Structure 1
Amino acid sequence: MKQLEFGRSLSTSPVWARLRANSVPIQRRVSTLTAVTFVALSGWTLGQVVWLVYPNNTPTVAQWQPPAVSSSASTSTSNGLNIAPLKAANLFGQYQERQAPVVKKPVVVQEAPETRLNLVLVGAVSSSAAEKGLAVIANRGKQATYGIGEVVDGTRASLKAVFVDRVIIDNQGRDETLMLEGVDYSKTPTSIAQRNDSASSAPALSDEQISQARAEIAANPQAIFQYVRLSPVKKDQQVIGYRVSPGKNASLFDGVGLKNGDIAVQINGSDLNDPAAMTGIFKSITEQNELNLTVERDGQQHDIYIQF
């Protein structure tokens, strides 16, 4: 009885009536969704079956690779083009190795007949570099300092080489010897060592002879080169001064306070480290009444005054 009553009450309930009214649209939506899902699954399944029956026969594109290049030289390319004439044309020039030019050292003449020119060699400054030698030459009472290649005033002779006791002059293509004043002519030039030995063994001069030498220098300051020899001293290929050694009279050399082996670095305040300036320095000596010579001895500098 109770169940029947519950069923009657439910059928007459407004909620139940609303559910029954909405059931039709819900069923339609569910049916549509189910149909769409079924169609999609059917299409996918059909596609798989078709690809199984008809496999993909589309050819694949091979990956491109560059052709192999031979390491050996070839005169033609792969297309048969001959490039040998192009290579032989040397469009950018052809390398040629240049050889360093051979520099011929000038032959220094040491033996030559004595000149007949009326010239007097007052002083000479020889150098290990032959082109830097200097000479004081007098012609007709007029003295001048000359470098290698310079023409002696009043003559056609040029200075060619300078040694300790002589110079070689080029007299119109003929080599001739001009001996230092007071030195006898000999065929072989005297070396610096030989000059030092002979000077060391020279007899001592008297006070009168020393006074006479001073008077000679006072009358002609460039005559000092007869008593003092200068030889260039180099360090790292640069001239740093001139080594002094006795000339024909060693006693006069010692009398002014010089010692064999002293290195002269200044004359009257002018530095002697520039060979190009030596000519001007020697020429200025004739205008001086005294000679201030700065020398290096045992690592120390000493000033030596020579009054004319």
Structure 2
Amino acid sequence: MKQIELSKMHVWLHNIGKNNKELQRYASAGLAVIMLIWSAWLVGKIVWMLPADSSSVVTWKPSASGNTPSYSKELDLSNVHQSHLFGQYQANTDTKPKPVVQDAPKTQLNLILVGVVASSERNLGLAVIANRGQQATYGISERIEGTRAKLKAVLNDRVIIDNAGRDETLMLEGIDYKKLEVSEPRRAIVSNVQGNNPASAEDKIEMIRNEITENPQKIFDYVRLSQVKKDDQVIGYRVSPGQDPELFNSVGLQNGDIAIRLNGEDLTDKDSMGKIFQNISELTELSLTVERDGQQHDIYIEF
């Protein structure tokens, strides 16, 4: 009996060993397939990470032979070209500024010209204009608040404004409108003094002071002011010598100084020039604070 049981056990162990060998064979084959797939994926990823060779990319270029497909000859684009779908180009030949009509008719705009700072350089003129009780200082080509008109030119007793393409005259307050007289060229004064020696610098300055005493606004003929802005805000007025530099140089001014105060008025305030012109006839001296190389300097001009 025991011999039979032993033989059965022997057969059972033999079958288990046989099955284990088959399982091992299948497992090895499956593992090999998995390793092969993983290796292929890894190699592909490495290849994609390598930099591309730009020289291998061939850029298409049209053939230089001039041969075109037959259908392009049948396409007539002349109507499209002549229709000017996006407008027709016109060269801007009018690059020169339009001349100023100095004898322009009196404007009908309800404006008051409080004061002017005329300059021999057209673009440097300034005008203080009041509209509806509000005064402001304007430079050339600036639009007058509350209107569509722009300042076009500044003369000694008037300004020319561009009102919808039409030049018009605005006279200084208190001065009646009249057409400009054509001035004859000034003749040089020849002295009878032997040698015709020119006047000394002191004599010139004295003559200038007398002229300013009679008309204080004449100071701006010898000390030019041009508005300086930064981010659309007035930061002062650049000073430069006028028709005769003697007075300018004698008081210690330098070309390019930035005036920030004039007789106590803050020149960064848009209403300051209007206040100055209102009292200009009473001036007997000019106190000017200028900035130069980051430092402030006080300049005094006595009339």
Band the TM-score falls in, shorter-chain normalisation: 0.3 to 0.5
